[in-house]
Amino acid sequence: MKTISIGATEARNKFFELIEMVAYQNYSVIIKRNNKELVKLISEKEPENSFVSLQDIIAKSFGMVTANLWPYQKSKIIKNEKQANISW
């Protein structure tokens, strides 16, 4: 995510352009007043800390996949596939 810094008056004058940048171009905008950072605009779609580790994904998905979800392990489907591929 790219970050830009802008003064409050300029932010007021270019408010809709800043919204477009944040919403569609993956920018975050820091608005300053009297050389102090007051506000940070970030997109609602992409939270700043959206990192998810592989361990989190595995922990959340553990037990979701069962043998019934793998159709190519069933003998009837294997037989049908072999018959379909005989013409090769």
- Can you list the domains of the chain with their CATH numbers? 2-44+55-84 (3.40.1620.10)
- Report whether pLDDT(14) > 90: yes
Q: In Å, what is the CA distance from 65 to each residue of 2, 11, 52, 68, 69? A: 38, 50, 20, 8, 7
- Residue 59: the pLDDT is 75
pTM: 0.51
d(CA 35, CA 31): 9
Q: Model confidence at 66, in pLDDT bands (50, 70, 90)? A: low
